[in-house]
Amino acid sequence: MAPIGQDHYVAYAPLTGSDHERVQKASGLDEKEPCLNGWCTRHYLIAGHHLKECKLKEIRGLCVKTSQSNKGLSGQPFMLHLGEIKILDPKVIQQTVPAVENLRATNVHWSKADQQNQISLTLMWECPITDDIEKTIYYDVYYVNESLSDAFIGRAFTESFRVASLSVPSDRHWVEFVVQAVSQSRLKKPLNKSTRIRFTWEL
């Protein structure tokens, strides 16, 4: 990688405190915890005057050793995984994250078996968009699995989703679905605050 003179780049420190928490919340991430399952999230704010009559050509990551206690690690190889990079207009952070309303189901069909049951249905909902809500680009659909965690089962690009022959343990008398709206900037509410619907039946 060729060196770049300081007259061609600007270094930024990540957002901290309440600023970091606000962007985390808008991104559907934990407000207090920047690292989850080994992945850490950092947010950087670029001043508007730096972008006038400019074109962003490159983003570089710089690893800096800040602790003197790690002197012995100098020269040792390491591996760094770089995840998703998004460039957002700060205005979208001030907008309300879209949310699903009136979640319901039609064409519900149960089939029973000795070891497990199966459910088929069509989920339907609305997602109102106003001037202060960013447009929705798609919807992620989850259901609560055997370990009581939210398991991804599909993505919808319209306000409906067909579930076909989903297996449910025979000793469970309920099933729950979650629909999470995702905005054009890929912002979304956390799953625990997204819209849910539960179906129950007699064992």
What per-residue confidence (pLDDT) applies to 135? 87
| Domain positions in the chain | 101-200
> Which whole-number Å values give the CA distances from 63 to 76, 79, 81, 95, in the listed order?
13, 11, 12, 33
- φ, ψ dihedrals at 16, nearest 5°: -135, 170
CB neighbours of 4 closer than 8 A, spacing ≥ 6?
60
Model confidence, pTM: 0.67
What per-residue confidence (pLDDT) applies to 153? 95
- φ, ψ dihedrals at 32, nearest 5°: -100, -25
Q: What is the sign of the dihedral through the CA atoms of 130, 131, 137 and 140?
A: negative
Distance CA 26, CA 36 (A): 17
pLDDT tens-place string over residues 43-69: 777 776 666 777 777 777 766 665 555
Mean pLDDT by groups of 10 residues along the chain of 203 residues: 57 77 71 69 74 73 61 66 75 80 93 81 92 89 88 95 90 90 86 90 65
Q: Which helix (H) or strand (E) holds 152?
A: strand 150-156
What per-residue confidence (pLDDT) applies to 15? 79
Structure tokens at 202: 């007699």
CATH of domain 101-200: 2.60.40.10
What per-residue confidence (pLDDT) applies to 30? 66
Question: Can you give the length of the chain in residues?
Answer: 203
